[in-house]
Structure 1
Amino acid sequence: MNTPGPPSRPLEALRELTPARVGLGRSGASMPTEALLAFTLDHARARDAVHAAFDAPHLLAELADLGLDVRSVSSQARNRRDYLRRPDLGRMLDADSRRALEKPGGADKISIVIGDGLSPAAVNVHAVELVRHLVPRLTEAGFQLGPVVIASGARVALGDEIGAVLGARMVVMLIGERPGLSAPDSLGAYLTFAPRIGLTDEKRNCVSNIHGAGLRYEEAAFKIAWLAREGIARAITGVALKDESGTALIAAKPID
């Protein structure tokens, strides 16, 4: 009878490839102290990301330096407590913000909305650099770029009302994703064709996991621009639009 040998990919090697909690081991009936302390630290970082201050003035200044038309709005969530307890308030503009945004749109206009979401920390760190990489790709594709809107107290669906008020053909919502225990500062991008109040999530495409250990700015900008171009060309986003940008990205890369 042959005795099976050790696994070819031990858990120690797997742990080097992912921040996920794999093969933590045990001490008696519990986790080892080191693993428990690491979990507690990551949990604290996730909580801190949710409650971090949204640095809207810094974003406004940095985006204005890029030559963009930048606006600032707020949802009906008056504070962070309301935002977390009443998700519906984060999906609606307050009256003053709606009046300030009203202006005619254009057939090929794309509006970028940057919302704090569930991780303002992610937006503070990543939003400007992503926009810096994204805007040239959108303009090269021939799209007219509408105002960039900084939205406080924002849920994803707030972008629908903002896009509708601006008359945008498509809205790209950049927002802080729900913090995970391995990525408290992950940014997501949601694309919606013909935005209007009342749309649900199957009408959107999402590019997620944009952060230092995840999707790089260049790759994220390529994906977002591809989805925007194809979404407007086909007049769809969401489950009807499959993300095939990977094939296009491979074709676009020069062969060494």
Structure 2
Amino acid sequence: MTAHEPAPRGFWDELRATTQARIGLGRAGDALPTDRVLEFRSAHAAARDAVHQPLDTDTLVGRVEAVGLGRPVVVTSRVSDRGEYLRRPDLGRLPRDLSEVVPSGADIGFVLADGLSPRAVADHGGALLAALVAEFDGRYTLAPPVIATQARVALGDHIGEAMGIGTLVLLIGERPGLSVADSVGIYLTHRPRPGRTDADRNCVSNIHPPEGLGYRHAARVVSGLVTGARQLGRSGVDLKDTSRADALSAPAQILEL
């Protein structure tokens, strides 16, 4: 098929079935078909709504408490409203008051943060936290969770230090796109404290089943990273996710038995 030949019937349909990206949209003259334009506007509106929709903390507190780690404390950053959150990322990285966060000395602490998509952590936070706790399966001591609003990733460093934990697992709503508005990212920081940079963290992103990464899969990756961080004594660029390599090597190991 040359660049001037039309794609065969069903060509784009098959490709679109494998991705949420906007491909093979067609055309009407020199423009996009009307239905594709309307789909784009709808996706753009959903992304904007996801950013500006406030987090329903009462509902999330109930879902997190049901996981069984205790009633979560709710904290916030120094941001005063959503507009300031978008204009001043620096304020979203600083806590307003952490006096209610009780030091636990636990191995792992969880923070659920609204981030750029409060909808994402509202939809997936409770179930994802439950999957993480199940995956750890009693191997570590777990601190009572914290819910953070108007939060950027680095706010977790302050919270983690106040919790007195060994490893921070932060669940946060990721920046919405035109394909996905409810994706969660997990940021892992070993020995969290203010001043940590992105180079000190590991990220597992695109968690939004059924189209994105599933809860159990994400929990397995995080569990492997926690094990590696505790062995290495740090997280970040020196810590690699070996879960895929383990999965690829499994068939060979089976054949050798």
Q: Establish whether TM, by shorter chain, passes 0.5.
A: yes
Task: Report the Cα distance in structure 1 between the residues aligned to 2:225 and 2:250, rounded to whole angstroms.
Answer: 15
What corresponds to 1:74 in structure 2? Answer: 76
Instruction: Tell me whether 1:180 sits opposite 2:177 in the alignment.
Output: yes
Unaligned stretches of 5+ residues in structure 2 = none
Letter in 1 for 2:68: G
Deviates more, 1:73-82 or 1:43-52: 73-82
Letter in 1 for 2:202: N
What corresponds to 1:242 in structure 2? Answer: 240
Q: What is the DSSP-based 3-state SS (H/G/I as helix, E as strand, rest coil) of the residue aligned with 1:42?
A: helix
Shift in Å, 1:5: 9.1
Query: Structure 1 202/19 Cα, relative in aligned 2: closer, same or farther at 3 Å?
Result: same
What corresponds to 2:20 in structure 1? Answer: 19
Shift in Å, 1:13: 1.7
What corresponds to 1:105 in structure 2? Answer: 105
* Preserved CA contact (<8 Å) 2:67 2:126: no
How far does the alpha carbon of each residue in 1:117-164 deviate from its partner, in whole angstroms, 9 at most, with x for none?
000000110010001111122243x21111200001110011111111
* Preserved CA contact (<8 Å) 1:71 1:149: yes
Q: What is the DSSP-based 3-state SS (H/G/I as helix, E as strand, rest coil) of the residue aligned with 2:146?
A: strand
How far does the alpha carbon of each residue in 1:188-225 deviate from its partner, in whole angstroms, 9 at most, with x for none?
00001111111111111100000021001110111111
Task: Report the Cα distance in structure 1 between the residues aligned to 2:159 and 2:247, rounded to whole angstroms.
Answer: 30
Task: Report the Cα distance in structure 1 between the residues aligned to 2:239 and 2:141, rounded to whole angstroms.
Answer: 22
* Preserved CA contact (<8 Å) 1:46 1:181: yes
Shift in Å, 1:249: 4.7
Task: Report the Cα distance in structure 1 between the residues aligned to 2:172 and 2:149, rounded to whole angstroms.
Answer: 10
Which of the residues 182, 185, 190 maps onto 2:187? 190
Shift in Å, 1:59: 1.4
What corresponds to 2:45 in structure 1? Answer: 44
Shift in Å, 1:235: 1.1
TM-score (norm 1): 0.89
Shift in Å, 1:32: 1.3
Shift in Å, 1:53: 1.9
What corresponds to 2:30 in structure 1? Answer: 29
What corresponds to 1:83 in structure 2? Answer: 85
Instruction: Tell me whether 1:131 sits opposite 2:129 in the alignment.
Output: yes
* Preserved CA contact (<8 Å) 1:75 1:158: yes
Deviates more, 1:26-35 or 1:169-178: 26-35
What corresponds to 2:144 in structure 1? Answer: 147
* Preserved CA contact (<8 Å) 1:227 1:243: yes
Instruction: Tell me whether 1:223 sits opposite 2:221 in the alignment.
Output: yes
Task: Report the Cα distance in structure 1 between the residues aligned to 2:128 and 2:228, rounded to whole angstroms.
Answer: 20
Which of the residues 167, 175, 179 maps onto 1:170? 167
What corresponds to 2:61 in structure 1? Answer: 60
* Residues matched between the structures, number: 246
How far does the alpha carbon of each residue in 1:88-140 deviate from its partner, in whole angstroms, 9 at most, with x for none?
1111111xx3222152524xx11100000000000110010001111122243
* Preserved CA contact (<8 Å) 1:75 1:153: yes
Percent identity over paired residues:
45
**CA RMSD, aligned part only?**
2.1
* Preserved CA contact (<8 Å) 1:173 1:190: yes
* Preserved CA contact (<8 Å) 2:67 2:129: no
Q: What is the DSSP-based 3-state SS (H/G/I as helix, E as strand, rest coil) of the residue aligned with 1:144?
A: coil
Deviates more, 1:150-159 or 1:52-61: 52-61
What corresponds to 2:212 in structure 1? Answer: 214
